[in-house]
Structure formats: C-alpha cells, structure tokens
Structure 1
Amino acid sequence: MRKNPERRTALVDAAIEVLAREGARGLTFRAVDVEAGVPAGTASNYFASRDDLFTQAGGRIYERLQPDAPTMAKAADGAYDRATLTELMYELVGRIAAFRTGYLALLELRLEATRRPELRAVLTERVRADIDANLSNHGESRMPGDATSVLLLYLALNWLIVEQLTLPEIFTEREVRDLVAAAVERALPATPCPPAPAGVPAPGPGR
C-alpha cells in the first residue's frame, strides 16, 4: 500500500463525500478516484479492500468532528453549570450540522455495519470509547447531572441532528435551539455545582 499520508487523507475525504451522496453501495475505488480527481487505480493502491476504505472513512469522520480549540477552551474555563453545558450543546449540534456530508456518511456506515462484522466492531469500539470519554469528563468536571443525564443528552441530540440533516424543514433553527435547551434542562438539575478543583479537566463537549 502507498504511504503518502496527504494523498491517503484526500482519498478518505473523497470516500466520505461519495458515501453521503451515493450510499454504501456507491462507495467503490473508481468512485473515490473520480471524487478526488486522481488517476484511475489510485485508491486501490492505498486501501487493501472496500472494508478498509469503510473503516478508514469512519475514523476520519470522527477526526473531523472534533471540537476546535476555542470550544475546548470554553469547556475548560467556563462555569460548571447548566447554562454553560447548554451553550456547549448548541455548539455541538451546529458543528455536526456544518459537516453534513460527514454525518450522513456516518449514518450510511452504521447501516452498512449491520452487514459487515468487521466494520461493526470498529464502530462499536469507537462509539463506546467516545461515550466513555464523555462520561468520564463529565464526572470529573463536577457538572450537574449524572451518567444517565449524559447518555440521555447523547441519545436525544443525536436524533435531533438526524432530523435536522435529513428532513431540515421539520424544525426551524429557533425550534432546534429551544429543543436543545429543553433537553439540557430536563436531563440536568438546575442547581449549579462548585468549580472543579485545580487540575481536574472540564467536560468534553461531546461528538
């Protein structure tokens, strides 16, 4: 397999676009070559199989969905209360909506994982690790709410994002913001917690 990391990344990004537009069945080496604007046969030199391409695309989506430095700084330095968490959830929904093709590609990968055990194992490991990291960060930050609160927000906001990206006419932008605020309000207690001790990490904004 070829080792040029920049070319590999460009091919994986092209695979994400193909997945979002054509679905899993449309993800072929040829389609990736065309999307990336490279000579025919390039993708097959970088990936051992379509399974490899699927798993690489899944990992890249999560990489691109990571929060930026200002968001991480806000999570680290903000007040440890419900209002701060609400703002972080607004940012989360907006960040994912801005990478529409990535999230749609991820939905395609999840469907394809029901037919590909190796892909299912990779996605299961990645999503479970992501959930565990958010649970750990939330607990260490002493934000209001417990592990169940975090999981309820994870499940509620993921489906809100699906609605927003697949059927965007259902909810207006104002309704989306109101629903995010309501989800946080109902999942977390209103009483703020004191700031975490020095050296304790702030809550991750989720992915």
Structure 2
Amino acid sequence: MARNPERRTALLDAAIDVLASEGARGLTFRAVDARAGVPAGTASNYFANRDDLLTQAGSRITARMVPAPEKVDEAMRPEPSRQLVTELMKWLVRRMDDERTGYLAMLELRLEATRRPALQAELTRAVRVQFDENVRFHQDAGLPGDEDTVLMLYLAMTGVLLEHFTLPGVLSVEQLDQIVERVVNTVVPPR
C-alpha cells in the first residue's frame, strides 16, 4: 500500500465527493481517481478493496465534521443553559450545512451499510463512540439534561438534517432555526 498521507486524504475527499454526487453504486476506484485528478489505478494503490475505501471514507467524513477545539471553546463561553444548547444545535445545523457533501456521503454510507455487515459494524462503532463523547461533553459542560436528553437531541437533529438535505424545499432556513428552538425547548429541561 502507498504511504503518502496527503494523497490518501485527497483520495478520500474525492471518494466523499463521489458518494455525495453519485451514491455508493457510483463509488469505484476509477471514479475516485478521476475526481481526485490522479492517474488511473492510484486509488487501488491506497485501498485494499472497495470495502476498505468505504470504511476509510466514513472515518474521513467524521474527521471533517468534528469542529476545531478552539471553535468549541468559543461556543462554550456562555453559561450552561437551555439557550446555550439552542445555540449549539443551531451551530450544528450550520456546520452540517457547510459540510453538505460530507453529510450526504454519510447518508449514502449508512444506506450501503444495510447491505455490508463489516461497514455497518464500523459505522455503528464510530457513531456510538461519537455519541458517548457527546454525552460526556454535555455532562462535563454542565449543560441541562442527562444522557436521555442528548439521545433525544441526537435523534431529533438527525431527522431535521435528513429532511433538510434530502428534501430542501420542505423546510426554509428560517423554519430550521424555529424547529431547533422547539426541539430544544421540548427536550431540554429548564434550569
């Protein structure tokens, strides 16, 4: 396997673009090479097979979606409150909107995981780890609510984002903010 980390990252980013635009069925080594603008056969030097490419693309999407620590520190300056949770959820929607390609690619991976047990196991593990980290973050930050609160926020926001990305004409941007506020006010206990 080739060991140029910058090229591997570029190939994974190209794979994410292909997943978002062509779906999992369109993800081939040839398509990744073309999207990355590299010679044919390059991707096959970096990934053992298509399953390896799918799994590593999932890891790369996750890395792209995690906010920089300094941005988190900045977002956490206000006192812990239901209002802060509202602002954090609105920030989440904006970040995912900025990472639209990655979010759509992750949806494609989730669908493909229903047919590929190894991919399903890896995505389940990664999402569970991220969820557990979110619970710890929520509790350590002193935000109102408990693990169930984080679970309900996760499920609600996943639904909002799915609707926003797959049927963008259903909810306006203004409605997104209102929905986030309603979700938080319904799910997060007042202090």
Give the TM-score category using the shorter length.
over 0.9
Q: Give the Cα–Cα distance (whole angstroms) in 2 for the partners of residues 116 and 139 of structure 1.
A: 34
**Partner Cα distance (1:37, 1:119) in 2:** 27
Distance 2:152 2:161 in 1: 14
Alignment match, 1:124? 124
**What residue in structure 1 maps to residue 28 of structure 2?**
28
Q: Secondary structure at the match of 1:77?
A: coil
The one-letter code of the counterpart of 2:173 is E
- Residue 108 of structure 1: CA displacement? 0.7
Residue 141 (structure 2) pairs with residue 141 (structure 1): yes
How far 1:126 moved relative to its partner? 0.3
Q: Distance in 1 between matches of 2:14 and 2:42?
A: 12
Evaluate the alpha carbon distance shift between residue 76 and residue 176 of structure 1 in structure 2; reply closer, same or farther with a 3 A threshold.
closer
C-alpha displacement of 1:69: 4.0
Residue pairs, 1:54-203, within 5 angstroms: 54-191=54-191
- One-letter code of the match for 2:40? A
Unaligned runs of 5+ in 2: none
CA drift at 1:78: 2.2
Is residue 5 of structure 1 aligned with residue 5 of structure 2?
yes
Using the TM superposition, give the Cα deviation of residue 183 of structure 1 relative to its aligned residue in structure 2, in angstroms: 0.5
User: Match for residue 194 of structure 1?
Assistant: none
Aligned-CA RMSD value: 1.1
2: CA distance, partners of 1:19 / 1:111: 11
Encode CA deviations 1:129-148: one digit per residue, 9 max, x unaligned.
Answer: 01111111212222111111
Alpha-carbon distance change, 72 to 59 in structure 1, aligned in 2, over 3 angstroms: same
| TM superposition shift of 1:70 | 4.4
Post-superposition offset of 1:68: 2.9
Q: How big is the shift at 1:76?
A: 3.8
Paired AA for residue 140 in structure 1: D
Distance 2:116 2:165 in 1: 25
Count of equivalent residues: 191
Comparing 127-136 with 65-74, which one deviates more in the overlay?
A: 65-74
Q: Aligned equivalents of 1:109 and 1:20: distance in 2?
A: 10
Task: Note the residue ranges of structure 1 that are not aligned, 5 or more in a row.
Answer: 192-207
CA distance in 1, matches of 2:84, 2:68: 17
| 2:38 corresponds to | 38
Q: Which has the larger share of helix?
A: 2
SS at match of 2:86: helix
